Amino acid sequence: MRKVKWYVPCLRQHREKFVELPFIEEFTQAKDIGNLENQYHKLLNVDWCKHLDEEVFNNVYLFWPQVLKYKDAGEKFVFKELADFALRVLSLPSSNACVERIFSVMNCVKTKSRNKMQEEMLAAILRIRTYSSNANICCYNFKPSKAMFKKFTSDIYTKMETDTRQETQHEEDVFEYVEEFDVPCLNVL
């Protein structure tokens, strides 16, 4: 994370050379470096204090989206490529703890006894658990909306049966196709 500090909107005259910024090779192509460097130097030509309030100017996560939206007098996005580059760098996770946390929750949800759970259901449960955890919402206090109740009908089971039938039919079609070949390694029975 120490490398990312160079993307803080420090617009003073003495700042790092563009080629010394971290992650340039990882996030750009050689043909784009000249354009990015040109935009990097043009940042000093804009009086950002006129366009942004102090809170935005001093917050890297608020500053670069504003730079991305900035247009010159000709309604041209002047810093689009540079802001895209900075936002990609800033989107890097500082650790893989979040991913590890999700995998931990997934291992609790999809157990050996629930091994036939479809990806769609698993993803929905993970989203709900993650949202509830982040918002400090307990499942006992959750109040479903009327729209949720309307969607909770027997149709959700019919859709699952239809999906299962389609999957079974697809498997049968594949088996029939493979059986047409008289190759021992493709023998399905």
Q: Give dist(CA 29, CA 27) in Å, integer.
A: 7
What is the number of structural domains in the chain? Answer: 2
Q: What tokens were used for 42?
A: 């043009």
pTM value? 0.50
59 and 122 belong to one structural domain? no
Measure the CA–CA gap between 145 and 20, rounded to whole angstroms. Answer: 53
Q: Please, are residues 78 and 71 in contact by the beta-carbon 8 Å criterion?
A: yes
23 with 41, same domain: the answer is yes
CB 3 within 8 A of CB 22: yes
119 and 43 together in one domain? no
Residues 136 and 158 in one domain: yes
Q: Which of 61, 90, 119 is the last residue of a domain?
A: 90
* Amino acid symbol at 175: F
Specify the pLDDT at position 6. 58
pLDDT at 77: 92
Picking from 90, 108, 142, the residue at the C-terminal end of a domain is 90
The 10s digit of each residue's pLDDT in 50-78 is: 888 888 877 888 888 988 999 988 999 99
Residues of the chain with pLDDT below 50 are 1, 177-178, 180-189
Partners of 77 in beta bridges: 71
pLDDT number for residue 189: 39
Same domain, residue pair 72 and 36 = yes
Report the run of H or E that residue 41 belongs to, with start and end. helix 33-42
Residues 109 and 162 in one domain: yes
Percentages helix, strand, coil for the chain (3-state, rounded to 5) are 65, 0, 30
**CA distance readout (Å), 59 to 36, 68, 141:** 21, 15, 36
Position 163 scores a pLDDT of: 59
pLDDT score at 188? 40
Same domain, 29 and 50: yes
- On whether both 171 and 144 belong to a single domain, the answer is yes
pLDDT recorded at residue 76: 92
Of 42, 63, 90, the domain-final residue? 90
Q: Which range of residues forms the domain containing residue 134?
A: 97-186
Mark whether 16 and 79 lie in a shared domain.
Answer: yes
Radius of gyration of the chain (CA): 26
Q: What is the pLDDT at residue 80?
A: 92
pLDDT for position 169: 60
